[in-house]
């Protein structure tokens, strides 16, 4: 919603730039999509490593539960 409001302000102040931004936005989104996928994968690997590294401590802290 905030992005739309900012775009409306830009449209009022300088409509050619706002139209160019509107046309280029999908291309920029597609260009940045692989970086988002890589970020999600790296985040998952880091969470997996954190879980593996903290597993012994969790097992010792709760001996009756896994």
Q: How many CB atoms lie within 10 A of CB 18?
A: 17
What residue segments make up the domains of the chain, in order of their start? 2-61
Q: Alpha carbon of 24 to those of 10, 31, 45: distances in Å?
A: 15, 11, 33
Question: What mean pLDDT is reported for the chain?
Answer: 92
What share of the chain in percent tops pLDDT 90? 80
Q: Which two tokens stand for residue 3?
A: 């992005």
Spatial distance between the Cα atoms of 21 and 50, rounded to a whole number of angstroms: 40
- 2-13 and 15-61 helices, crossing angle to 10°: 160
Q: What pLDDT band is residue 65 in, cutting at 50, 70 and 90?
A: low
pLDDT tens, position by position, 19-41: 999 999 999 999 999 999 999 99
Helix/strand/coil for 63: coil
């Amino acid at each position: 919603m905030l992005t739309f409001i900012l775009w409306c302000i830009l449209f009022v102040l300088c409509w050619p730039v706002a139209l160019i931004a509107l046309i280029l936005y999908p291309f920029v989104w597609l260009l940045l999509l692989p970086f988002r996928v890589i970020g999600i994968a790296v985040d998952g690997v880091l969470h997996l490593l954190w879980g593996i590294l903290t597993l012994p401590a969790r097992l010792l802290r709760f001996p009756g539960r896994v």
